[in-house]
Copies of this chain bind each other. A is one copy, B any other.
């Protein structure tokens, strides 16, 4: 899917909602457990119910790998099922992969050729040659971790040069751009690796919405994948205020808040209601930004 097609999808559905398929078999409704593949059945019903309100689905591989090969099969079946909605849903494998070039090539093959998802989340620590193999697939996207939504983000992502931090504190401005915090450095270094905003996005946690303004100075045009709204406590309105650009530019993910909103037989209908509640808010935001009528 191209950036243009993605923006078009957002305008058509009046939504920038991604549903995270973190489909933990221990948390799905019990009545599904006698199905042949309970997790796939769960995903299928969630997808069918939420598709009108949703522009993207994001299975997180951890919840499938934890069941071994059987889980991997549930994942493949889910991705296959989503293929019939090719123009209706952008499919993200949230796998946070990344390795030396020779090895990243194998991951790229796994997710972009075998599984054929639209996008893959990738970890930045190993640098350029660990990321570029994922950028060789036309129409496919790398979503690089920049600023994550968890508490541990503070351990390394905010590391800032002492000198630069001191000047910030004293309010001293310099002509040369300041040496940045690690997550800013990741953005500033990596966005040139691909075809800019046409095959790269960045993960920015909703719990750090106040940093989105600074992030937009570095990557004004890139799409940002924003997890952390809902269970993790991020605010949709703040994310939209600081993160949106003139092509929407944000995909906001909610996982547990939608898919596990009910654990009874009505789970799919309740998930649809929760997705629709977010979609209605998103529609208003898109209207206020004059991106839709």
Contact = CB atoms under 8 A, between A and B. Distances in A.
B151 A68 contact: no
Contacts of A106: 24, 60, 62-63, 65-66
A41 interface: no
Given A24-B106, A150-B130, A125 B157 contact: yes
A152 B129 contact: yes
Q: How many copies does the complex hold?
A: 2
A22 B154 CA distance: 34
Contact of A182 (B94, B156, B164): B156
Contacts of A125: 123-125, 145, 148, 156-157
5 contacts: A22-B103, A66-B107, A68-B72, A94-B99, A101-B152
A98 interface: yes
Contacts of A107: 62, 65-66
A224 B99 CA distance: 18
A66 B128 contact: no
A261 interface: no
B162 A150 contact: no
Contacts of A127: 150-157
Given A22-B103, A127-B157, A76 B68 contact: yes
Nearest to A121: B99
Which of A94, A101, A148, A160 is the most central at the interface, judged by chain B CB atoms within 10 Å of its CB?
A148
A83 interface: no
A126 interface: yes
Contacts of A66: 106-107, 109-110, 114
Contacts of A189: 155-156
